[in-house]
Structure 1
Amino acid sequence: MRPRRSAIAIRHVAFEDLGLLAPIMERAGWSVSFCDAPVDDLSDRAIREADLLIVLGGPIGVYETDKYPFLTAEIALLEQRLRRDLPTLGICLGAQLIAQALGGRVFPGEVKEIGWGPIELTPDGKSSCLRNLQNEVLHWHGDTFDLPVGAVRLASNANYQNQAFAWGRNALALQFHLEADPRQLEEWYVGHAVELAAAKVSISELRGRTQALARTVAVQAEQVFGDWLQSIAPTDSALRSSAGA
Structure 2
Amino acid sequence: MAVRIVAGMRIHSLEHAPFEGPGRIAAWAAERGHTLSRTALHDGDAPPSLDDFDMLVIMGGPMSIHDHRDHPWLPVEKDFLKTAIGARKPVLGICLGAQLLADVLGGKVFQNPVKEIGWFPVRMLDRSAPFAAFPQQVTVMHWHGDTFTIPEGARRVAESDACANQAFVFGDRVVGLQFHIELEKVGVKDLAAASLDEAGSAPFIQSREQLIAPPPESETAGALLFALLDELAQIGRSGGV
Same fold (TM over 0.5): yes
Aligned to 2:32: 28
Contact 2:7 2:32 in 1 (8 A): no
Instruction: Report the Cα distance in structure 2 between the residues aligned to 1:142 and 1:48, rounded to whole angstroms.
Output: 35
Contact 2:157 2:166 in 1 (8 A): yes
Tell me whether 182-191 or 226-235 shows the greater mean CA deviation.
226-235
Tell me whether 93-102 or 213-222 shows the greater mean CA deviation.
213-222
Aligned to 1:215: 219
Contact 1:63 1:107 in 2 (8 A): no
Cα deviations across residues 151-182 of structure 1 (Å, max 9, x unaligned)?
11111122222111111111111110011112
1:86 deviates by 1.5
The structure-2 alpha-carbon separation of the partners of 1:3 and 1:175, relative to structure 1 and needing over 3 Å to count, comes to closer
Instruction: Report the Cα distance in structure 1 between the residues aligned to 2:173 and 2:183, rounded to whole angstroms.
Output: 22
SS at 1:119 equivalent = strand
- How many residues were matched structurally? 229
Instruction: Report the Cα distance in structure 2 between the residues aligned to 1:146 and 1:92, rounded to whole angstroms.
Output: 14
Aligned to 1:76: 79
Q: Do residues 102 (structure 1) and 89 (structure 2) align?
A: no
Instruction: Report the Cα distance in structure 2 between the residues aligned to 1:97 and 1:16, rounded to whole angstroms.
Output: 15
Aligned to 1:204: 209
The structure-2 alpha-carbon separation of the partners of 1:52 and 1:24, relative to structure 1 and needing over 3 Å to count, comes to same
Q: Do residues 19 (structure 1) and 23 (structure 2) align?
A: yes
TM-score w.r.t. the length of structure 1 is: 0.85
SS at 2:39 equivalent = strand
Instruction: Report the Cα distance in structure 2 between the residues aligned to 1:207 and 1:3, rounded to whole angstroms.
Output: 33
For residue 9 of structure 1, the aligned residue among 2, 8, 13 is: 13
Cα deviations across residues 29-72 of structure 1 (Å, max 9, x unaligned)?
32111101121112x42x56521111100001011112211100
Instruction: Report the Cα distance in structure 2 between the residues aligned to 1:215 and 1:154, rounded to whole angstroms.
Output: 21
SS at 2:93 equivalent = strand
1:198 deviates by 9.3
Stretches of structure 2 that go unaligned for 5 or more consecutive residues are 1-5
TM-score w.r.t. the length of structure 2 is: 0.86
Instruction: Report the Cα distance in structure 2 between the residues aligned to 1:224 and 1:99, rounded to whole angstroms.
Output: 19
Cα deviations across residues 67-97 of structure 1 (Å, max 9, x unaligned)?
2111000100011111222111100000000
The structure-2 alpha-carbon separation of the partners of 1:48 and 1:107, relative to structure 1 and needing over 3 Å to count, comes to farther
Instruction: Report the Cα distance in structure 2 between the residues aligned to 1:53 and 1:223, rounded to whole angstroms.
Output: 16
SS at 1:218 equivalent = helix
Contact 2:160 2:166 in 1 (8 A): yes
1:1-245 aligned at under 5 Å gives the runs 4-38=8-42, 39-42=44-47, 44-45=48-49, 47=50, 49-122=52-125, 125-134=126-135, 135-196=138-199, 201-208=206-213, 210=214, 212-213=216-217, 215-234=219-238
1:147 deviates by 0.9
- The structure in which a higher percent of residues are helix is 1
Instruction: Report the Cα distance in structure 1 between the residues aligned to 2:26 and 2:58, rounded to whole angstroms.
Output: 14
Contact 1:6 1:50 in 2 (8 A): yes
Contact 2:154 2:171 in 1 (8 A): yes
Q: Aligned partner of 2:81: which letter?
A: L
Stretches of structure 1 that go unaligned for 5 or more consecutive residues are 236-245
Q: What's the C-alpha RMSD, in Å, of the aligned pairs?
A: 2.2
Q: Aligned partner of 2:58: which letter?
A: V
Instruction: Report the Cα distance in structure 2 between the residues aligned to 1:227 and 1:196, rounded to whole angstroms.
Output: 34
**Runs of 4+ residues over 6 Å off in structure 1:** none
Q: Aligned partner of 1:204: which letter?
A: E
The structure-2 alpha-carbon separation of the partners of 1:158 and 1:108, relative to structure 1 and needing over 3 Å to count, comes to same
Contact 1:15 1:188 in 2 (8 A): yes
Q: Aligned partner of 1:41: which letter?
A: A
Instruction: Report the Cα distance in structure 1 between the residues aligned to 2:201 and 2:70, rounded to whole angstroms.
Output: 21
